Structure 1
Amino acid sequence: MCSHQPPCPTADSPEHHTAVIVSAHPEQGWSLLCNGTIVFEDTGELLPDGRVVAPHRTVGPLAVAA
C-alpha cells in the first residue's frame, strides 16, 4: 500500500502504528494508515488481517486544575 520513501512500517512491524495517515475521520474517532491499519482514538487498532489490538492508553491520576 505504501508508495512513498522511506516506506512505512508494515502492519506486522512493532512500529506499525507510526505509518502515515491516509484517511482521517476524527469526527468518527478513527484513521486509516498507509499500511492498512485502522487506529482508533481510544488507542485500539484493527490490523489488515482482522486482528484486534486492544486499547493501550496509559492509566494514571487525573490532573487537577489549580
Structure 2
Amino acid sequence: MTTTQRKIPPMCQHQPPCPTADSADRESARLVAHHPEQGWSLLCNGVLLFEDTGELLPDGRVIAPHRPLAAATAA
C-alpha cells in the first residue's frame, strides 16, 4: 500500500529562518497577514495566532488561550 502525503512547502523564505510551529518561541515568527478586525494573524511559520492568545498550528493542533492570570482577573 502506498500513501501519498502532500508536502507543504515552508512559508519562511528569509534568513535567518523563523522558529518552526513546533518551537517554544513560535509566536516570534514574522507576520504574513494581520486581520485585527477578525481577531487573527497568520505567522510565517504557518501558525494562526488569535487575539485571545489561542493558536492553531499548521498540523491542526489547537493551543488553548494562555493569557497571563493578572490580565484575566483584571477584566
TM-score (norm 2): 0.79
Equivalent in the alignment of 1:19: 29
Runs of 4+ in 1 over 2 A off after TM superposition: none
Identity between Structure 1 and Structure 2 (%): 70
CA distance in 2, matches of 1:2, 1:25: 19
Residue equivalent to 2:5: none
Shift of 1:62: 2.3
CA RMSD in angstroms comes to 1.3
Aligned residues: 63
Larger radius of gyration: 2
Amino acid at match of 1:38: L
Higher helix proportion (structure 1 or 2): 2
Q: Which runs of 5 or more residues in structure 1 are unaligned?
A: none
